[in-house]
Amino acid sequence: MNPLRSLLRSAALLVALTAISFPAAASTKIQRVVSPGGIEAWFVQDATVPLIAMQFAFAGGSSQDPADKPGVASLTANTLDEGAGDLDSKAYHGRLERRAIQLSFSATRDYLRGSLRMLKENRDEAFDLMRLALTSPRFDSEPLERVRTQVLSGLRRESTNPGSIAGVKFWATAYEGHPYAQPSNGTLESVPRIEAADLRDYVRRVLAKDQLKIAVVGDVDAATVGKLLDQTFGALPAKAALTPVPDVAFVKPPKKVFVPLDVPQTTILFGGPSIARSDKDFMAAYIINHILGGGSLSSRLYHEVREKRGLVYSVSEQLVWMSHSSMFYGSTATRTDKTNETIDTINAELKRMAETGPTQQELDAAKSYLKGAQMLALDSSTKIAGALVQYQLDNLGIDYLERRSAIIDAVTLDDAKRVAKRIWSDGVLSVSVGRQPVATTAPVAPAPAKN
């Protein structure tokens, strides 16, 4: 068959399969597979479509960057697939493209993560290419400089983007002196100084079997998964050599930071300390956060800040949990002359939640939404694999999906009120980027409690 025609056929089939919904996560059977070499993965077998997806994560992330070279983890992730073993960058990508294999790496503050997706017929080649990327990346000069140029171009754009500026300042203020304060993608000063030797050292220290979590979903059997795990990850070191990262508390609020930038609209980030994913009160906090600003049009922040006062187009808030800290984190944007009023309104609404908690009606509606939304979100093999990896990282247990609805239902109104006071009583760290805001004449009074 003509090679180009074969490539187009495979690519078209993969695109078509992407549109097919995966069976509901609630009905999947999650198995624990341990390879002959002792490598563990969570596995869901499904032959609905001839597709296999794998997600995995190594502990480490950008918190393992040298203090004077932020950006090493990110640059490593961006160049792991730029040639490996006997294949230079062009040859490596050529093999990926011929078989329509999707392979990518990314770095968060705590993890270096990977994603692999392929048609069943290309399984062996896909896993072998990933093995090469993990065990013998080349970091050749040409692709490294090409990727570095792309990263620097992105950083230059971000240096004038109010949202990016606010994000860098927010993390630097919230976690001053800690690895979390460093920009994950590096800086315009640090990225040019990162060498191939830094990337090799990162791979040597971070990519190891004892810090690895894996999930596989798709048209393959458990015995074959075990063999693939050994073939792909078996040659990695047994133990990582991670630099210890201390636990750290979010800076004590309230605190207000302003960064001047001549733009027509002011970007605002806000947040404060939260609780760990392992905390017994986490689900109560998760439900309350949804009521406050979980992205829905019925959230309290959306109602008070946008619908009632017309200060912003949108506003949202989420819980963020990491290996060494946790926080609630929100964002919005407004006119310069409304900056202080917007921040005051957000603070007032958080204070009201801390003082009175949610209503029973709000609690019941949030529970119903969160139970349904989780199942609807897991509608593809890749999404299910990603969720299973996250459940492992969070130590939730292989039966978490089965237990999740009961955990949500167990949260009482008294729990919600107690946890609301625990988290949202102290105000926020706010970072505003824009023109100098005009002071408000009077603070915004909390809205009366809803019955």
β-partners of residue 266 are 334
Helix (H) or strand (E) holding 54: strand 51-59
Tell which residue, 273, 432, 251, has the closest CA to residue 341: 432
Pairing of strands 111-119, 265-273: unpaired
Q: Is the pLDDT of residue 137 over 80?
A: yes
Q: Tell me the residue type at 108.
A: T
Report residue 373's pLDDT band, with 50, 70 and 90 as the boundaries.
confident
Answer whether residue 228 shows pLDDT above 90.
yes
Closest Cα to residue 213, out of 46, 82, 32, 374?
32
User: Which pLDDT value is given to residue 22?
Assistant: 43
**pLDDT tens across 345-357, in order?**
999 999 999 999 9
DSSP letter string, 119-177: EGGGHHHHHHHHHHHHH-B---HHHHHHHHHHHHHHHHHHTT-HHHHHHHHHHHHHTTT
- What integer pLDDT is reported at residue 19 of this predicted model? 36
254 band by pLDDT with thresholds 50, 70 and 90: very high
Distance CA 216, CA 44 (A): 6
Question: Region 52-66: what's the mean pLDDT?
Answer: 97
Residue 185: band (very low, low, confident or very high) from pLDDT cuts 50, 70, 90: very high
Domain edges within the chain = 3-12+20-233, 255-434
> DSSP readout, 7-27?
HHHHHHHHHHHHTSPPPPGGG
Q: What pLDDT does residue 437 have?
A: 65
Q: pLDDT band at 215, cuts 50/70/90?
A: very high
Q: Kindly provide the residue ranges of all beta strands, DSSP E only, lying in 263-341, ordered along the sequence.
A: 265-273, 312-321, 326-335
Between residues 95 and 444, the one the model is more confident about: 95
Mean pLDDT to the nearest integer, 56-77: 97
- In angstroms, the CA 39 to CA 331 distance is 40
Angle at 287 between CA 285 and CA 290, to 5 degrees: 110
Closest CA to 443 of 351, 344, 367, 324: 344
pLDDT digits (tens, 9 = 90+) for 139-174: 999 999 999 999 999 999 999 999 999 999 999 999
Q: Distance between CA atoms of 139 and 84, rounded to whole angstroms?
A: 8
How does residue 12 score in pLDDT terms, banded at 50, 70 and 90? very low
Round the CA-based radius of gyration of the chain to a whole number and report it: 24
- The confidence score (pLDDT) of residue 160 equals 96
Phi and psi, residue 187, nearest 5°: -130, 170
In this model, does residue 203 exceed pLDDT 80? yes
| pLDDT score of 156 | 98
Helix (H) or strand (E) holding 415: helix 413-424
Given a cut of 70, whether residue 262 has pLDDT beyond it is yes
Q: What is the reported pLDDT for 374?
A: 81
Q: Do domains 3-12+20-233 and 255-434 have the same CATH topology?
A: yes
The rounded mean pLDDT for the chain is 91
- The percent of residues above 70 in pLDDT, for the chain, comes to 90
Query: What are the pLDDT digits (tens) for 87-125?
Result: 999 999 999 999 999 999 999 999 999 999 999 999 999
> Is 5 exposed, middle or buried, given 0-12, 13-18 or 19+ CB atoms closer than 10 A?
exposed
The yes or no reply on domain 3-12+20-233 and CATH 3.30.465.10 is: no
Which whole number is the average pLDDT over 385-401? 97
Thinking of the domain 255-434, which architecture would CATH place it in?
2-Layer Sandwich (3.30)
